[in-house]
Amino acid sequence: MSRIALFVLGTILQIPLQANAQETEESDRLQQLEQRVKELEQQAKAAQTSPSMQSSLRNSHFSLYGSLRPTLEYQDKADDVWDIGDALSRLGVKADTEFAPNWHAIAQGEWKIRLDDNGRFGEARLAFAGIGSPFGQITFGRQRPVQYTLVAEYIDIFNNANSPFGYNQESPFFVNNALIYELKLKPVTVMASAIFDGNSGGSGADTINVGAGFDKNGLHLGAAYLQQDTYANANRTGKEQLAGAVISYEFSSGIYAAVGYQAKDYEFETAVNRTGSTFDSALAIPFANAYKLKLGYFWFKDGIEDTSSQDYDGYNLTLEWQIAANVRTHLEYLQQNNDQREDDTIIALGIRYDFDLNWEF
């Protein structure tokens, strides 16, 4: 065979050999990529099931929430005053981890934001942790008292830091050093709490607060009893007893009505005992889809019969506009008639912006 023929035959045979070599290289590359993807998937799976992830995040819910509530207020007291106020702005976090079926570790922290005081941040409203189970929930720390949760919360519907206005004068909104137990047996809720403050001068529980609530088809009935020792410079000066009840109902039309009453006994070691009371009522009427008219009447009586009495009564009228699900504005007129002091008239224009961000792990 001539050299030319051999060259032509070699060239023809080389073409499929080169094609086979290219296909082999592509196949190797695909195998390498598949292997790398498997390695990455295994690494991600290992990270999700690592001990640290299991202990801190797995089966958990975390929430970051807040509410900014600035107001512009006109106050007619001894002198007319215009001022920027704050209707209890706050920032908070909640956490919930299920560590066994129907058993949860819970925690919450919430802090004030004073928009009327250079935006000051940091004073705690809530700071507690505890355990929730099929047998009830128990929590420790700074919390809402039973008295507020079962009674006052249902008349606290106004955009004002002093709401509810009768309850506000001497009744508790938050309690420190509290141990609270709550059991929900629908439609009944039972609560009991005690405060243990070793710095107060007492050796045991300084406050006992118990109550029960009934909730069904828009109706709420609540009652609570509170007894606490009073101290001055670690010396016991007496005790206070507070019994309260509330009834509220939300109609199918959206109209909401609530009435709350409390009787308070003041018992002193070296002074004359006395009895006072608080009354709060609230009515909310929605109209035109995004608007709500709120009305309230209230009183506070401390049982003091001289000029040092802090007694008052009053009423308020509020118009709300729900701009969005998390944004609303209001215009409020508040009149408080004080028995022994100048009357207070406040007109407030405010906005409330809420947010709530949630993560599931």
Residues in the chain: 361
CB of 58 closer than 8 Å to CB of 74: no
Q: How far is CA 77 from CA 74, 82, 307, 335, 344, in A?
A: 10, 11, 19, 11, 5
State how far the Cα of 63 lies from the Cα of 65, in Å rounded to an integer: 6
Contact (Cβ atoms closer than 8 angstroms) between residue 145 and residue 178 = yes
Q: Which amino acid is at 46?
A: A
Which of the residue ranges 15-19, 138-142, 229-233 would you say has the lowest mean pLDDT?
15-19
pLDDT (mean) for 70-85: 88
74: pLDDT strictly greater than 90: yes
CB 345 within 8 A of CB 334: yes
The mean pLDDT value of the chain amounts to 88
Instruction: Please give the Cα distance from 280 to 296 (Å, whole number).
Output: 7
Note the pTM of the prediction, 2 decimals: 0.82
In this structure, of 53-57, 233-237, 241-245, the range with the lowest mean pLDDT score is 53-57
Q: What are 19-52's pLDDT values in tens digits?
A: 455 556 666 766 776 777 677 666 656 555 444 4
Q: Which residues pair with 209 in a beta bridge?
A: 193, 226
**pLDDT 10s digits, 107-152:** 999 999 999 888 899 899 999 999 999 999 999 999 999 999 999 9
Render pLDDT for 183-210 as a digit per residue (tens, 0 to 9): 999 999 999 999 987 666 555 568 899 9
% of the chain with per-residue pLDDT over 70: 84
In this prediction, residue 57 carries a pLDDT of 75
The answer to which of 17-26, 94-103, 234-243, 279-288 has the lowest mean pLDDT is 17-26
Residue 213 has pLDDT above 90, yes or no: yes
Predicted confidence at residue 8, as pLDDT, reads: 41
